[in-house]
Amino acid sequence: MTGSEVPRSFRLAYVPGVTPAKWVRTWNERLPDIPLDLVQVSAAEAPEVLRGGDADAGFVRLPVDRTYFSAIPLYTETTVVVVPKDHVIAAVDEVSAEDLADEIVFHPLDDTLDWEHPPGRPAFERPATTADAIELVAAGVGLLVVPMSLARLHHRRDLTYRPVTDVPQSSVALSWPEDETTDMVEDFIGIVRGRTVNSSRGRRPAAQEQPKGKRPDTGGTQRKPSAGKPTVRSPQSGSGGQKGGRRGKPRRRS
């Protein structure tokens, strides 16, 4: 980027259930000159949005194609069953997949859980979206098993949810095309990993090299920078120490 160009925005995709607010806030504090644009996508659409360049990075649900994408796993969600508040399940702390065997359990087309054998009895037709399935649960037609964040996202006063054991769980990760790890992506990785603004990792300006033959302004023994850490201050003087020091001074012969 030349000095005359206006920095383009950093485009961050995120799937339903993910709340990127805290990372966006940190970005705006550290990089106020680079706008961050949020791109909300479905879990199924996220990989193609990143492949197509419509977002620089995204919060996605695993798994992703690791031959193409880099990914930093962030957390794994509890899986819950959404039920009407007057349902018998609402009276217990948690249930197992076996407890749902006699219940109609919806598996919408945008289901984010990797089922081998979905619990419960299948509905006559699969709802198109999780939001549609929530409406059916509220109507007393059946139940819905989802990651907890989606149960919270579609919260209704007439519904509640309980944890389900022995079922798949959904993991959320920061992901981006491996061959497109730009400076802005590196900056956002640092924010997600919790690095401070003065962290030695990430994008930092390199120190200017000390001209040969010129004595640095500060004396003392040269310190060798730690491996992988960029030098942000002028290097110390050479290994010979300060001028006029006793060490290395020739002795006068009598």
pLDDT digits over 172-221, tens only? 999 999 999 999 999 999 999 998 877 645 454 433 344 444 444 544 44
* Domains of the chain, first to last: 10-76+171-192 (3.40.190.10), 79-165 (3.40.190.10)
Helix (H, G, I), strand (E, B) or coil at 100: helix
Closest CA to 187 of 9, 53, 27: 27
Beta bridge partners of 76: 171
pLDDT at residue 8, as a whole number: 84
- CA atoms 179, 184, 187, 191: torsion sign: negative
pTM, two decimals, is 0.74
pLDDT digits over 116-172, tens only? 999 999 999 999 999 999 999 999 999 999 999 999 999 999 999 999 999 999 999
- CA atoms 36, 40, 46, 50: torsion sign: negative
> What is the 3-class SS of 57-90, one letter each residue?
EEEEECCCCCCCEEEEEEEECCEEEEEECCCHHH
